Amino acid sequence: MMDSGGARNMAKAKLVVLGHDSCGKTALCVRFITMRFIGEYDHEKEVTYRCRKLVDKEVIDLEILDTVNKLESQVANPMESSIRWGDGFLIIYSVTDRSSFESVLRLKRLIDHVKRTLGIPTVIVANKCDMENGRVVRREEGQALAGDLRCSFFELSVAESATAVETAVCQLIREVRVEFSKHILAMEKCSRMLQMRHALKKKLRRSKTMQW
């Protein structure tokens, strides 16, 4: 998927990783960028990682914002500016923590509210599936929620599989790319219509002048 040959053109995307405390946000970012799983991650502030990846033969410059969960904060929602900034969202929960699963719906609603539109590229990731003994959220529950929210869904273990992490993030990048293309097409259509209107107005003005 990320071979180095035949790159087409350069693109950019801003991804935001959201989720409850300790569900594996930083582990996922580090795994995607470095392919490594370190185990313990120490950060209390939002961190933006920058990297360049090849996805479907297209080089893409990524900015990935690893957020700190502030959904339960009393302050007027501090997560909103992070959401406003992003093009695509990865919401992660841990299959060993039901409250992290319950946060998914609230986070998705917040994204829809801040972006003021539905259909924003969003991928839901159920993490820590290596901890089968501690599982409290069934795969089917995650799948059903993702289906209701019209999001792609991946159950994986950041600890065990770099490939699974790459698959989930690349899916998000593809969805962002589709949204970009739709946006560009809409802009082109709008600009073509404006040009036509302008040309029509000019023609009308000319024909009126001839009548006089």
Ligand X SMILES: Nc1nc2c(ncn2[C@@H]2O[C@H](COP(=O)(O)OP(=O)(O)OP(=O)(O)O)[C@@H](O)[C@H]2O)c(=O)[nH]1
Of the residues 46, 130, 141, 179, which one makes contact with ligand X according to CB under 6 A: 130
Residue 60 vs 94, nearer CB to ligand X: 94
Residue 41 binding ligand X, by CB under 6 A = yes
- For 69-128, the DSSP string reads --TT-SSS-TTHHHHHH-SEEEEEEETT-HHHHHHHHHHHHHHHHHHTSS---EEEEEE-
Phi, psi (degrees; rounded to nearest 5) at 113: -70, -45
> Which residue's structure tokens are 């479907």?
56
Shortest distance, CB of residue 201 to ligand X, whole angstroms? 56
| Nearer residue to ligand X within complex by CB, 27 or 124 | 27
H helix intervals, 126-161: 139-148
Number of chain positions touching ligand X (CB under 6 A): 21
Q: Are strands 88-94 and 152-155 parallel, antiparallel or unpaired?
A: unpaired
Select the residue interacting with ligand X from 128, 151, 170, 172 (CB under 6 A).
Answer: 128
**Which span (36-44, 117-125, 172-180, 198-206) binds ligand X, by CB under 6 A?**
36-44
| Site stretch for ligand X (CB under 6 A), options 18-26, 109-117, 177-185, 187-195 | 18-26
3 touches ligand X by CB under 6 A: no
- Give the x-and-dash track for 139-168 against ligand X (CB under 6 A): ------------------xxx---------
Q: Is 183 exposed, middle or buried (0-12, 13-18, 19+ CB in 10 A)?
A: exposed
Comparing CB distances to ligand X, the nearer of 11 and 71 is: 71
Rounded Cα–Cα distance for residues 76 and 55 (Å): 37
Q: Which residues contact 155 (CB under 8 A, 6 or more apart)?
A: 95, 125, 126, 129, 139, 142
Instruction: Please report whether residue 40 would count as binding ligand X according to CB under 6 A.
Output: yes
> Footprint of ligand X on this chain (CB under 6 A)?
19, 21-27, 39-41, 43, 68-69, 127-128, 130-131, 157-159
